[in-house]
Structure 1
């Protein structure tokens, strides 16, 4: 059910994207402005991950996830009722604020409910469920739009409220409590907003790029200062002093960027060949189903290899899959695109829980939430980079843009493999190996 919640949060963009044409015609705005309907959701989803990460540490899983799902549902209802474009975008911003809880709080719940050796298998099931529901987004959105109208497509993510009710009593309630470092929270949110705007500026223009750069450049020094003044504040020093957290998050963003670039490129390519939205969504489903059925393999890989090596394998799958996709676009072979999508979905099923495993392995339990929130923020921003590169298709051709993403995937795989070797030497000296199978049994 936790995987279903994170998957449904992903449909907030995928399902709505299918309904954009009808939505624009009904409310009465230029279809070219539709990018703001999608970007508003993605912006606040990414920005609020760090806030929810700290909220988990302070208030516990149940309250943080309950607030997030509630905001998501309220935002969706307001979006359906919005009489104008401006109010629609505002409602989507609120909806994204709620969706930001899903990737962070569900992962924190897994660590609390399934400690020790049970965690890798739980992570694999969580990721597989999420991938299936995210992949079903275009199909759900297409069916909802054709049968019930665009309003139904916007409301698809609210199904996460039903999933939450089934597990509400099982969610942990405890948190560390204490006063929130509000100043640190402001600086982190400002830096996160700047980073997201900077990444999205490829679609939104130079003014957005300048604003993003100003926010990011101004907030980062203030975060560093606040961490020095309050080592236990909004961003605890222990959460960022481990190189694994930032390094794996940045390298792992290539995995999310590969997936996002492919879900932009393949529908565009197939639509140009006359395919309708529902057949396009169905063509992308085999990969999601493969990811779901490989959950046990994913759990075994994380348990045996550890988080960083598993991420390296995920990035390698992305590089191979995108190379096949580039070949498929160049030759017009749809079968290669289906195989490529399957490999990249499998990579996402492995990469996202592997990132979580690599972070929780080195960060104390008291700072897990914020560490996961920061890593998720960086991981999600890879999607903007991937879609921006996929958007270079008019200049590089569709195959050329995918080839660039393939190269980034292979480069990330090499870097992560090297990092795993460095970590192994460093952690053995510290007496605490990162690979779960190498850890000593507690006395």
Structure 2
């Protein structure tokens, strides 16, 4: 099998495991004796670690090359998934999810870097397309697979799904050859940013977890924000480079796009909660989401066409608008006064809209940032934008997990919809500051700096 497809399977099974896990969240909570709000931490820690971990792996790639981080990531990925399957209680499950998420965070960064090191410019875009296409298709199947597998074999079988992707790793071993450039890893910066982000998530999810969690989150957030500011000034080339975080267009684009991922995780948690609360089994939830998944399977080609025809800036604005519509539909569809048929129709429409927004928004953000950043900071600009974008997922999961049981899903989703409207305003203002790029050539993933030391392949490498 070709290396791009193997990497796509590995990343796709990660996304599938996350989206499938949200479908069985109410069942898992009942089995482990916790509330659904507490059980949502299994999704929140995934989103948070995917955000911060991706940036850390990006720096490790520069320091030591690709093989060591990839191996460490795969050990964490597999051990965490395996531990989740046999977790005797929720505390062990959270440890397992932390381990798995810490490993999964490497894939969005290391996989494109590996492909960039193996192929020259002529073939690179095609290989990246194969990789992202395979990952997108598998990830879109998550809600249906989660509902069907969870409904027949239980939630533990859903936790085991990412282990299928691990079977691709042995076939990738020989390709992991790119060496590091000797750059320095700003570990204190990574710790400060991670701690601050964790504080925000803890505070948002505290209504479902108690005052102690709220106090810890508030302390981390209050202490963390000034520490991030001071550290960024002292280390202008550190974990959050000053050249990037002072660029208004890059920061506003990433922050404005963050509600897309917030809507994604929020609806993945809220929709099963609402439908299971109406007496639906997980299998029926999965089957109801088939139309949304079908739309998701068509989006890679449509997204590529829109990025070329209307430009990345306008595409990003459309994606944020789509996430806002999805959240409004989800908020209305969660109202208990509605009939089962109408509620299900609105919730399926909400998931369909957010799948479209995700499929268009993430590549559009990459294209916008890559076209703005110069060659000297493009790699780190993409990493920082991905960090800010992915933090939205953690906050979305935290808001729904923390507020749904206290104030209801309509309120939680409505609150995120307001944030999404603010994000849309930010993205529209960015379009006024920055004209559309003339082409999308800059939007491709930049080559791994160390990869230029060796020869590139000009044909599709095979593992056989």
Per the alignment, residue 414 of structure 1 pairs with 425
Task: Measure the CA separation in 2 of the matches of 1:393 and 1:80.
Answer: 26
Task: Measure the CA separation in 1 of the matches of 2:88 and 2:287.
Answer: 33
- The superposition leaves residues 354-399 of structure 1 with CA deviations (integer Å, 9 ceiling, x where unpaired) of 1222233334556555444433333233234434555656777655
Query: Is 1:343 matched up with 2:346?
Result: no
Per the alignment, residue 428 of structure 1 pairs with none
Query: Is 1:423 matched up with 2:434?
Result: yes
* Structure 1 residue ranges without an equivalent (≥5): 425-432
Do the aligned partners of residues 91 and 327 (structure 1) sit closer, same or farther apart at CA in structure 2, a change above 3 Å counting?
closer
Higher mean displacement: 270-279 or 8-17: 8-17
Where 2:77 maps in the other structure, the secondary structure is helix
Where 1:192 maps in the other structure, the secondary structure is helix
* Structure 2 residue ranges without an equivalent (≥5): 443-464
Do the aligned partners of residues 369 and 281 (structure 1) sit closer, same or farther apart at CA in structure 2, a change above 3 Å counting?
farther
Do the aligned partners of residues 302 and 388 (structure 1) sit closer, same or farther apart at CA in structure 2, a change above 3 Å counting?
same
The higher-RCO structure (CA 8 Å, 6+ apart) is 2
**1:130-279 mapped onto 2 (5 Å cutoff):** 130-145=135-150, 148-165=153-170, 173-279=178-284
Question: Match for 1:436 among 424, 430, 439?
Answer: 439
Do the aligned partners of residues 164 and 81 (structure 1) sit closer, same or farther apart at CA in structure 2, a change above 3 Å counting?
same
- The superposition leaves residues 47-103 of structure 1 with CA deviations (integer Å, 9 ceiling, x where unpaired) of 323211212333344543443232110122233344555444323221121122233
Q: Is the 8 A contact 1:291 1:346 kept in 2?
A: yes
Report the Cα offset of residue 187 of structure 1. 2.4
Query: Is 1:352 matched up with 2:369?
Result: no
Do the aligned partners of residues 224 and 34 (structure 1) sit closer, same or farther apart at CA in structure 2, a change above 3 Å counting?
closer
Higher mean displacement: 329-338 or 389-398: 389-398
Q: Is the 8 A contact 1:124 1:296 kept in 2?
A: no
Per the alignment, residue 386 of structure 1 pairs with 396
Q: Is the 8 A contact 2:147 2:285 kept in 1?
A: no
Do the aligned partners of residues 121 and 191 (structure 1) sit closer, same or farther apart at CA in structure 2, a change above 3 Å counting?
farther
Task: Measure the CA separation in 1 of the matches of 2:18 and 2:55.
Answer: 20
Q: Is the 8 A contact 1:120 1:303 kept in 2?
A: no
Name the TM-score, length of structure 2 as normaliser. Answer: 0.77
Higher share of residues assigned helix: 1
Task: Measure the CA separation in 2 of the matches of 1:390 and 1:29.
Answer: 19
Task: Measure the CA separation in 2 of the matches of 1:381 and 1:51.
Answer: 14
Task: Measure the CA separation in 2 of the matches of 1:335 and 1:364.
Answer: 45
Name the TM-score, length of structure 1 as normaliser. Answer: 0.80
Per the alignment, residue 449 of structure 2 pairs with none
